[in-house]
Amino acid sequence: MTGLLAIAVLAALALLLVLYPLLRRPAESAQRERDDDLARDLLEEKITLYRAIKELEWDRQAGHLTEPDYAELRARYEARAAAVLKRLDELGVAAPPPAPEPRREPVAVSTPVPWSRRPAALVLGGLALVGFGLALGVLIVRFTQPDPMAGTPMPGSRPLAGMPMPGIPQAPTEGSPRPIPVEMLEGMLSAAHTSLDEGRYQEAIAAYKAVLARDPQNANAITHLGVILAIAGHADAALEAFDKALAIDPDYAHALWDKAKLLAEQKQDPEGAVAVWERFVKVVPPGQDRDRALALIKEAKARLPSPKAAKP
């Protein structure tokens, strides 16, 4: 019994020596991985910003943007690009790659792992230690027990049979290329909303189209293009834009509100407006917008023709 206990202790120590280097992950390595991920995101955003600036140049040459609108929109993109470059400098990124590279490339140029730290060498060394421990355990049993030939199986056979082989963790699989960062899309939408609010419709249209070129299913940009169409008097085209946005997001409150307003004011369809406003009331939280929609529903219903009395 004493010999088996000694064998088990030695085997456990050997396994600990094998598994510890494999499972240990230094904190600095994890921080370096996070910095590499952030640097990749920033490099992708920088490339996208440069492409957006080039598209602005094409729109200006095509006559879609006036010089003041072009200068203002370009200044916003360049300001964001400057912030990205500053952050890249802080991370120590010397220069971006000529094109987005697969995320496995940095691993290929990393410092080679010494042969003594490779998993195969560690496993073989661990097995050698286990064998040494078993041999030592056999010697202990042979010299401490009075009758080693008492009919029990040779010590060391069962511990080896039941011992799990140490596994090597699989490397995480690389996903598809990252999409454009959400922060950048939000910045582009914010610039487009500002242009729309200030009445610079051509600049707003160009900005919303730039968003849709990168995110064709962006209900926000589609809805605001519908708002511009409604302002220009193209009610049918605006209604089509609102319906497209709602097909993407049926509960998008902005599209519901603008569609109901267009039906009530331009299409003179109070019944249709009431149906859309009632949907709006269901999806928005209590507040001024919901109270205003309830008041407009009441006004629109007052304009509806009274139903005819049913004949007996």
The pTM (predicted TM-score) of the whole model is 0.45
* pLDDT at res. 50: 81
From the first residue on, what is the mean pLDDT of each consecutive set of 10 residues in the chain (312 residues)? 61 65 60 80 82 79 77 82 80 57 50 61 70 62 46 37 33 45 87 93 94 93 96 95 96 95 93 94 93 92 69 45
CATH architecture classification, 182-300:
Alpha Horseshoe (1.25)
- Domain boundaries defined on the chain: 1-166, 182-300
The answer to whether the CB of 15 falls within 8 A of the CB of 163 is: yes
* pLDDT at res. 130: 67
